[in-house]
């Protein structure tokens, strides 16, 4: 306890505990990836975040269940001994979720990822739209603090009282995580099963703690009354089992009175290690042994055996006519009290149905505990897999998206900066043989738009420059974007005045579009850019960042993705409104100011939420554009979400 410290005092039980835990984790993660790869179109990063996040929540429920279960049933003490291993492992699992969430949604943007958590979604005055990721971050910091201080070294440095108080913060972390889930990912889903599962988890934890607390409260209500001489009745001697204790509540404290070797001794019930109940323990090798972690004290003086230095208070006892009495006034910790001896053979035999005593540091535990541990481990695995199935098979089905990496294709056409950075090209012809101009919006790598890159290129080569672009393709729902993987280096000179430039380095070696149209016998010249007004429109939908939505991330919409979308849009990716047409099909329109100015730095307040927009609907090639004032954006209530998405 205080003689020295090692990183981990490995023993047979701890190794088995950790092996079983590791296997449960591997089975869960493997099953999650297997089901979601087979059934859904989630990206690898999304599956990683969801699998480790749900596993961490399930592990936290197990951790919070062990304490009250051990108070209600001593069999669960076999799980309590190594609970800190489970807690640290849960923190590591949560770290994978947290790390990839921060990198995925906040990293590689225009501000520090940690600052992004606090500054992307700023609706702190709204419950429904509250920035749930801040709740997750604070919960994670609490779990980190608990994991880093879980070793007995910190318990010794901080003192058991401070250490225990610090670790009570796990309940605050649990509350924050429940709200993190409730205000976050659940809002993306439409199935009520997620709300039911979360509610059942809270009810389960609450009920266990209420039951355990009620049991303790009922025990403390039975406070013993003093006799005329200030002594408290304990029990008939023949009612007490050998090497075990009778606990009573007297003078505002719990006292453990032990019967052993025809002697009676009494000590304060609280272990100095982690406040474990010594009265639930047993005399092992002549010492009182705590049932939680096996810490020991000599019954006569309350001192831990050398070289340990911990001490608990002791009490005077006496036996009168076969009745055990206690003086409820504690003596200073470590005070020797002569045990009260008895000579009559009145020891009550331990019933065969009484549970054996579990000590985690012993070389071998009773077979009963091994059987119980196996059953509990199997039950935990089955419950985890059942939760996994409910989580996986009730997810919202998301349209497949594609992000082509590896050897990127080349596109050839006209580069434009306004109304948004794009490549105008010709890939096909209509039924009459006329070329169809298609506009592919351009984005940069990570969370950045291509406006500055395009503007710089056009300043050097002129606004009518024909170019060839190399980049990754993002495609979904019939919409295609091009990512400039190498920034400005992804764009090379193409034609000028209908002819390729003489410099062979500027001429693309292979490309789709213009050259392919020649082989079709079609005039491949791209007509002049024209923006056509359609009508004034009022429409409900959600502002998305098209880069993530159409391929970089799946799902790339809704509140869970809101912070990432804000970072992408503020980084220069054009804001796009996703809405439903009269047929219930998704439509997309680029949003610009009423004079065509970019809205990237101004529209963040409305991204990733159900909104209503009023503006002027226009078209450029295959893309729609809405010109609007920021004052014409109206946030909708959550009840409108299913109607507009």
Across the range 435-452, mean pLDDT stands at 92
Give CA–CA dist 175/490, Å, rounded: 48
Residues 94 and 205 in one domain: yes
Residue with tokens 């089975």: 27
Q: Is 18 within the bounds of a domain?
A: yes
Residues 128 and 247 in one domain: no
Residues 104 and 242 in one domain: no
Q: Which of 425, 489, 481, 499 is nearest to 457 (CA)?
A: 489
Confidence of residue 226 (pLDDT cuts 50, 70, 90): low
Residue 411, domain CATH: 2.40.50
Please report, for residues 48, 187, 206, 301, 640, the alpha-carbon distance to residue 194 in angstroms, rounded to integers and kept in the order given.
19, 10, 18, 54, 20
Residues 43 and 180 in one domain: yes
Residues 495 and 535 in one domain: no
pTM: 0.84
The pLDDT > 90 percentage for the chain reads 55
Domain boundary among 495, 518, 541: 518
| Segment among 46-60, 151-165, 215-229, 403-417 with least mean pLDDT | 215-229
Residues 260 and 320 in one domain: yes
Across the range 261-275, mean pLDDT stands at 91
Q: Is 64 within the bounds of a domain?
A: yes
Query: Is the pLDDT assigned to residue 346 strictly greater than 60?
Result: no
Residues 292 and 214 in one domain: no
Q: Is 361 within the bounds of a domain?
A: no
Query: Is the pLDDT assigned to residue 505 strictly greater than 60?
Result: no
Structure tokens at 586: 């998704």
Confidence of residue 251 (pLDDT cuts 50, 70, 90): confident
Q: Is 351 within the bounds of a domain?
A: no
Across the range 256-267, mean pLDDT stands at 94
Across the range 622-627, mean pLDDT stands at 96
Confidence of residue 344 (pLDDT cuts 50, 70, 90): low
Q: Is 423 within the bounds of a domain?
A: yes
What is the domain count for the chain? 4
Which pLDDT belongs to residue 361? Answer: 66
Query: Is the pLDDT assigned to residue 21 strictly greater than 50?
Result: yes
Domain that holds residue 627: 531-644
Which pLDDT belongs to residue 599? Answer: 96
Domain boundary among 468, 489, 518: 518
| Segment among 121-125, 261-265, 290-294, 401-405 with least mean pLDDT | 401-405
SS (H, E, C) 42-99: CCHHHHHHHHHHHHHHHHHHHHHHHHHHHHHCHHHHHHHCCHHHHHHHHHHHHHHHHH
Q: Average pLDDT of the chain? A: 86
The terminus-to-terminus CA distance of the chain in angstroms comes to 59
Q: Is 40 within the bounds of a domain?
A: yes
Q: Which of 313, 228, 233 is nearest to 278 (CA)?
A: 313
Residues 90 and 215 in one domain: yes
Give CA–CA dist 328/226, Å, rounded: 9
Across the range 586-594, mean pLDDT stands at 96
Residues 207 and 61 in one domain: yes
Q: Is 52 within the bounds of a domain?
A: yes
Q: Is 440 within the bounds of a domain?
A: yes
Residue 285, domain CATH: 2.102.10.10
Confidence of residue 225 (pLDDT cuts 50, 70, 90): low
Which pLDDT belongs to residue 352? Answer: 44
Residues 162 and 88 in one domain: yes
Give CA–CA dist 423/413, Å, rounded: 6
Residues 306 and 414 in one domain: no
Which pLDDT belongs to residue 345? Answer: 54
The answer to whether the beta carbons of residues 449 and 481 sit under 8 Å apart is no
Domain boundary among 488, 518, 548: 518
pLDDT tens digits for range 526-551:
888 889 999 999 999 999 999 999 98
Which pLDDT belongs to residue 3? Answer: 57
Give CA–CA dist 484/166, Å, rounded: 49
Residues 543 and 600 in one domain: yes
């Amino acid at each position: 306890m205080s003689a020295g410290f090692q990183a981990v005092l490995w023993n047979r039980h701890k190794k088995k505990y950790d092996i079983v835990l590791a296997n449960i984790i591997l089975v869960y993660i493997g099953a999650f990836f297997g089901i979601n790869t087979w059934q859904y179109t989630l990206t690898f990063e999304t599956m990683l975040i969801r699998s480790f996040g749900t596993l961490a929540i399930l592990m936290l429920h197990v951790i919070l269940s062990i304490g009250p279960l051990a108070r209600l049933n001593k069999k669960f003490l076999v799980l309590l001994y190594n609970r800190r291993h489970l807690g640290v492992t849960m923190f590591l699992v949560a770290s994978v979720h947290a790390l990839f969430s921060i990198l995925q949604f906040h990293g590689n943007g225009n501000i520090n990822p940690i600052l992004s958590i606090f500054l992307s979604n700023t609706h702190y005055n709204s419950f429904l739209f509250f920035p749930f990721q801040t709740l997750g971050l604070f919960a994670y910091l609490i779990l980190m603090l608990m994991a880093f201080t879980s070793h007995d070294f910190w318990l010794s440095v901080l003192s058991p009282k401070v250490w225990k108080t610090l670790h009570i913060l796990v309940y605050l972390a649990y509350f924050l995580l429940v709200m993190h889930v409730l205000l976050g990912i659940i809002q993306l889903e439409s199935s009520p099963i997620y709300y039911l599962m979360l509610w059942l988890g809270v009810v389960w934890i609450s009920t266990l703690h209420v039951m355990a607390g009620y049991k303790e409260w009922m025990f403390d209500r039975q406070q013993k009354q003093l006799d005329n001489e200030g002594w408290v009745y304990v029990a008939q001697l023949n009612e007490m089992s050998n090497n075990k204790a009778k606990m009573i509540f007297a003078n505002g404290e719990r006292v453990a009175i032990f019967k052993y070797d025809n002697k009676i001794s009494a000590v304060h019930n609280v272990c100095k290690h982690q406040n474990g109940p010594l009265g639930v323990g047993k005399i092992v090798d002549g010492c009182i042994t705590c049932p939680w972690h096996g810490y020991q004290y000599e019954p006569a003086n309350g001192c831990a055996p050398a070289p340990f230095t911990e001490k608990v208070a002791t009490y005077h006892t006496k036996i009168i006519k076969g009745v055990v009495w206690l003086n409820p006034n504690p003596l200073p910790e470590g005070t020797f009290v002569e045990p009260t001896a008895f000579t009559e053979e009145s020891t009550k035999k331990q019933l065969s149905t009484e549970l054996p005593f579990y000590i985690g540091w012993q070389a071998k535990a009773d077979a009963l505990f091994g059987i119980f541990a196996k059953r509990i481990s199997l039950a935990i695995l089955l419950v985890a897999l059942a939760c996994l199935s409910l989580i996986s098979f009730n997810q919202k089905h998301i349209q497949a998206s594609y992000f082509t990496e590896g050897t990127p294709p080349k596109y050839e056409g006209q580069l434009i900066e306004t109304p948004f950075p794009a490549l105008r090209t010709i890939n096909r012809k209509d039924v009459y043989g006329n070329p169809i101009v298609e506009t592919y919006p351009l984005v940069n790598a990570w969370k950045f738009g291509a406006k500055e890159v395009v503007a710089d290129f056009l300043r050097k080569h002129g606004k009518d420059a024909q170019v060839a672009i190399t980049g990754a393709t993002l495609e979904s729902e019939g919409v295609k974007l091009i990512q400039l993987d190498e920034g400005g280096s992804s764009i090379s000179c193409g034609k000028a005045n209908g002819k390729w430039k003489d410099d062979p380095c500027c001429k693309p070696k292979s490309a789709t579009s213009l050259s392919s149209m020649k082989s079709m016998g079609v005039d491949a010249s791209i007509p002049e850019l024209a923006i056509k007004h359609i009508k004034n429109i009022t429409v409900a939908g959600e502002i998305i960042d098209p880069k993530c939505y159409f391929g970089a991330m799946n799902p790339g919409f809704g509140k869970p993705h809101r912070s990432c979308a804000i970072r992408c849009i503020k980084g220069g990716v054009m804001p796009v409104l996703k809405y439903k047409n009269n047929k219930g099909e998704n439509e997309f329109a680029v949003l610009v100011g009423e004079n065509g100015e970019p809205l990237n730095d101004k529209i963040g307040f409305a991204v990733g939420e159900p909104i209503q927009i009023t503006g002027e609907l226009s078209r450029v090639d295959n893309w729609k554009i809405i010109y609007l004032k920021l004052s014409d954006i109206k946030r909708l209530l959550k009840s409108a979400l299913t109607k507009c998405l």
